[in-house]
């Protein structure tokens, strides 16, 4: 296995200006691993309740995602998130968060997960992210994500975690909130001073910015005619990014640039439908074609 992910597996209820979905499959680990599965083998550490239908597990297994680290709690209820988006689809408004089985979850890595080289700590309680990190041995790359819920509720733990990760993937609003800086350049500098050598700021329909040493890479998002549901875009982005990095092993600046465009490609598919309905059935040809469209989108000649 190439990638270890810990994160949420959820039932999401989502309203957008274009429709709504109730209690559909979601969660940061679910979106991440489905996206990454097109490029690498993923092992998932998470928890669900007794109410989690077997068909969701079957779908994940069909994508070759290893579920030996997925705990199922007898009598427990799966994590639930309810959110709404208005016309500004970049901004999710959380209406409800029910941690349920996550409240008493303690991640235990199966022995065969401990030496997995690429680790992604998807959006989840930073204490759980730290517990996973304590169990891995000599990872090649550790990346993590978070959200305002944890920046506001557990910032000390998040700062402790950042000292131990190589790459921080965070969205624009949360980067500003975390750093207390309006400028994204200053926000990125603040984050780099906390520990990671690379920070990637996700900017929704405006793309993503990578800061590494003195380099900045500005990747566009794919211009979409219709966006049905942005939920999971950030995790699909991270899944494509990590999936590609683990597949190639190329952590150079150029390798990272390509991985970010693969991440943007996967996010652009994900927003075309609610839940994982688009993300789960892609072909490599579709992914390649859209990657090429990205290349064309940003290509220009020297003067």
Binding site residues, ligand AMP, CB under 6 A: 8, 10, 12, 26-28, 31, 81, 97, 123-124, 147, 149, 231-235
DSSP state, residue 84: E
Q: Which is nearer to ligand AMP, 97 or 248 (CB)?
A: 97
149 versus 217: smaller Cβ distance to ligand AMP: 149
Calculate helix-pair angle for 28-36, 233-248, nearest 10 degrees: 40
Q: Which region holds residue 27: left if phi is over 0, alpha if psi is between -120 and 50, else beta?
A: left
CA proximity to 274, closest of 16, 59, 37, 55:
16
Bridge partner residues of 237 (DSSP) = none
Give the nearer residue to ligand AMP in terms of CB position, either 140 or 157.
157
> CB of 83: closest distance to ligand AMP in angstroms?
7
Q: 23 vs 255, which CB is nearer to ligand AMP? A: 23
Closest CA to 31 of 58, 52, 53, 10: 10
Task: Give min distance, CB of 62 to ligand AMP, in A.
Answer: 20
> Residue written as tokens 């810990």?
6
Cβ proximity to ligand AMP: between 5 and 147 the closer is: 147
> How far is it, in rounded angstroms, from Cα 154 to Cα 74?
28
Alpha-carbon gap, residue 20 to 275, rounded angstroms: 10
State the nearest-atom distance from the C-beta of 240 to ligand AMP, in Å: 12
Q: Which residue is nearest to ligand AMP (CB)?
A: 26
Q: How far is the CB of 256 from ligand AMP (least distance, A)?
A: 20
Closest CB 42 distance from ligand AMP, rounded Å: 16
Tokens of 122: 């998807």
With respect to ligand AMP, which residue has the nearer C-beta, 97 or 155?
Answer: 97
**CB atoms near residue 105 (< 10 Å):** 22
Using alpha carbons only, how large is the chain's radius of gyration in Å?
A: 18
**Can you tell me whether residue 171 is helix, strand or coil?**
strand
Q: How far is the CB of 243 from ligand AMP (least distance, A)?
A: 15
How far is Cα of residue 300 from the mean position of the Cα atoms in its chain? Answer: 30
Specify the residue, 121 or 124, whose C-beta has the smaller distance to ligand AMP.
124
Q: How far is the CB of 241 from ligand AMP (least distance, A)?
A: 12
Sequence-distant (≥ 6) Cβ neighbours of residue 135 within 8 angstroms: 107, 108, 109, 113, 114
Nearer to ligand AMP, 234 or 243 (CB): 234
Q: Report strand pairing: 208-212 vs 215-219.
A: antiparallel
At its nearest, how many Å lie between ligand AMP and the CB of residue 116? 21
């Amino acid at each position: 296995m190439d990638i270890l992910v810990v994160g949420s597996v959820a039932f999401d209820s989502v309203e957008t200006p274009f429709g709504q979905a109730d209690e559909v499959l979601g969660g940061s680990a679910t979106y991440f691993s489905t996206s990454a599965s097109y490029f690498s083998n993923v092992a998932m550490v998470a928890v669900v309740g007794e109410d989690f239908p077997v068909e969701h597990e079957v779908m994940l297994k069909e994508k070759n995602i290893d579920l030996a680290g997925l705990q199922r709690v007898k009598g427990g209820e799966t994590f639930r998130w309810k959110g709404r988006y208005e016309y500004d689809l970049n901004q999710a408004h959380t209406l409800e968060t029910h941690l349920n089985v996550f409240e008493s979850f303690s991640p235990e890595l199966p022995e065969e997960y401990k030496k997995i080289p690429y680790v992604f700590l998807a959006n989840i309680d930073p204490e759980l992210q730290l517990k996973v990190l304590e169990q891995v041995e000599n990872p090649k790359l550790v990346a993590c994500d978070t959200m305002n819920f944890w920046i506001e509720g557990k910032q000390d733990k998040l700062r402790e975690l950042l000292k131990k990760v190589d790459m921080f993937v965070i969205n624009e609003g949360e980067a500003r909130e975390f750093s207390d800086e309006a400028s994204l350049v200053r926000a990125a500098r603040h984050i780099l001073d906390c520990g990671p050598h690379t920070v990637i700021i996700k900017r929704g329909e405006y793309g993503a910015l990578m800061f590494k040493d003195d380099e900045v890479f500005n990747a566009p998002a794919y211009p979409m005619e219709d966006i049905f549901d942005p939920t999971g875009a950030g995790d699909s982005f991270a899944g494509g990014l990590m999936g590609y990095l683990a597949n190639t092993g190329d952590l150079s600046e150029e390798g990272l640039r390509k991985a970010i465009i693969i991440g943007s490609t996967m996010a652009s598919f994900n927003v075309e439908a609610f839940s994982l309905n688009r993300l789960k059935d892609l072909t490599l040809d579709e992914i390649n074609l859209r990657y090429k469209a990205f290349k064309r989108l940003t290509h220009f000649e020297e003067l």
